[in-house]
Amino acid sequence: MKYSKGKAGPVSMNELEITSVLHCGSGSMAYARGEALLRKANGDIKGVTFMVQGSNYQFHRERLVPGHKLRVPVRWTGSGAVTIVDTKALDTFRAATSAAASLDAA
């Protein structure tokens, strides 16, 4: 999978098992970075680094502890890196890909 500057990576719903996490900052500028095991749609497990910030961080903050499993939408930002996003980003990505697929079929 290739990623280019300025083009958002794909978004998908995945299960993350947090292995390590570092909480940084405070207030509205708070975020977390860490490592997790990600279960892909085909069942494969992949070690990834993750980041979550802003309102998504505030929402998931209490569950970002080693050993906890989360089912969340993630945007792939590299072959082994993801950013936890909100469900609106997932819905937008799905709508865009289905619209592109219907244009290709026509």
Q: Does residue 50 lie within any of the structural domains?
A: yes
Split into its structural domains, the chain has a count of: 1
Whole-angstrom CA distances from 22 to 19, 45, 50, 52 are: 11, 22, 10, 11
Q: Does residue 27 lie within any of the structural domains?
A: yes
pTM score: 0.81
Q: pLDDT, tens digit, for every residue of 37-92?
A: 999 888 899 999 999 999 999 999 999 999 999 999 999 998 899 999 988 888 88
Query: Which domain does 93 fall in, by range?
Result: 11-105
